[in-house]
Amino acid sequence: QGNLRKISNILSGWCKDSMLERKRGAKPVSVEEFEQNHKARVGVRLMNMTDGGKEIHRFVKDSSESLKISKTAATWKAYVDFVNNVVIEGFVSTIAVSLQYLCEILDPLIIARHEMLPLFDVKIELQGTEIVFDPPFEDEDNPSRTTLRSTIDSWLKDFFAMATVMVRLDSNVGDYLNEIKFEFQTIYNSACGEEHFQMQCLLSLVSELILGSIVKKKTGIDNTEAKCIEYRENFLFHAFLWTESVLWSQMRFEKEVARFEYLKQELSMKKTPTDIHWLKIDAQPVKVTLVNCARRWEEKFTGFLRSFVEDRC
């Protein structure tokens, strides 16, 4: 009983904190800066859990030696299976804590209710002839590139990596990863019951916010991306500034000068940055670029108008 209590204490300790952490009131940061801190936290967390796993094995071994029972005895095998299931439940609970926290920092409703600051800084800028997000939501042409979706996917992998820190008790080989994945899948697909109700609610939220693409559904990330694309349209509306040639007409010179002067002012007045759910969108780079484009067109028309007047004199 004493060793089992110690094992339970170790597992409870794993459940105290989420692997993912963001300090309360923290300002938005770049993905790179956040990831640097996160990876350091993951390393420490997995190392501590590895030590805890070794402790659990020592407690089980101590029980075996104290009871002086054969490891092939049915009663001992039943005890090991019992402790093994306790460990599996501990891993499930530990991962669930991190999944819950991830949902809290990505859920637009929670963000709005608690007036949370965005998580990441994202820029909008003109690259070539396209207005793009940096970092992008995804990059199919360069799968190795760090994107918003790949970052969140890596967090999920980090959570489940916790199930790999300990050698199995029942076989003394391998880890618990496949079994933990199966456990989550079973809970998610099982009929709703009181025993797993809270866990099913959590997994449904994870699916709604993050995993919908796997089952061809829109997710919270999709909705955030759609909002960002909608915001980007404010700048794409002026795509003619960098994609089209302007036909010169003496009759239009004065109108065009006034038009581009107005565009400069309109673009300069656009609000930036703006918060969209868990992202802080900084449009200053594209805003400055478009203002400069409008200024160059204005200067061209002004120059031609000046030349036209001088030629007439």
Report residue 301 CA to chain centroid gap: 46
**How far apart, in whole angstroms, are the C-alpha atoms of residue 225 and residue 228?**
5
Q: Are 210 and 222 in contact (CB under 8 A)?
A: no
Q: Based on the domain organization, do 144 and 55 belong to the same domain?
A: yes
Q: Model pTM?
A: 0.83
Give the pLDDT score at 165: 94
Kindly state whether residue 195 falls inside one of the protein's structural domains. Answer: yes
Q: Based on the domain organization, do 165 and 292 belong to the same domain?
A: no
The residue range of the domain holding 247 is 225-312
Pick from 215, 240, 255: which residue ends a domain? 215
Q: Based on the domain organization, do 206 and 295 belong to the same domain?
A: no
Kindly state whether residue 153 falls inside one of the protein's structural domains. Answer: yes
Q: Based on the domain organization, do 265 and 168 belong to the same domain?
A: no
Q: Based on the domain organization, do 196 and 291 belong to the same domain?
A: no
Pick from 165, 191, 215: which residue ends a domain? 215
Q: Based on the domain organization, do 173 and 254 belong to the same domain?
A: no
Residues of the chain with pLDDT under 50: 213-216
User: In which region does residue 277 sit, left (phi positive, over 0), alpha (psi from -120 to 50) or beta (all else)?
Assistant: left
Q: Are 283 and 274 in contact (CB under 8 A)?
A: yes
Give the pLDDT score at 218: 56
Domain count, the chain: 2
Give the pLDDT score at 4: 92
Q: Based on the domain organization, do 205 and 105 belong to the same domain?
A: yes
**How far apart, in whole angstroms, are the C-alpha atoms of residue 282 and residue 174?**
46
Give the pLDDT score at 30: 95
Q: Are 148 and 31 in contact (CB under 8 A)?
A: yes
Kindly state whether residue 299 falls inside one of the protein's structural domains. Answer: yes
Q: Based on the domain organization, do 204 and 234 belong to the same domain?
A: no
Kindly state whether residue 130 falls inside one of the protein's structural domains. Answer: no
Kindly state whether residue 69 falls inside one of the protein's structural domains. Answer: yes
Q: Based on the domain organization, do 209 and 151 belong to the same domain?
A: yes
Q: Based on the domain organization, do 198 and 69 belong to the same domain?
A: yes
Q: Are 158 and 19 in contact (CB under 8 A)?
A: yes
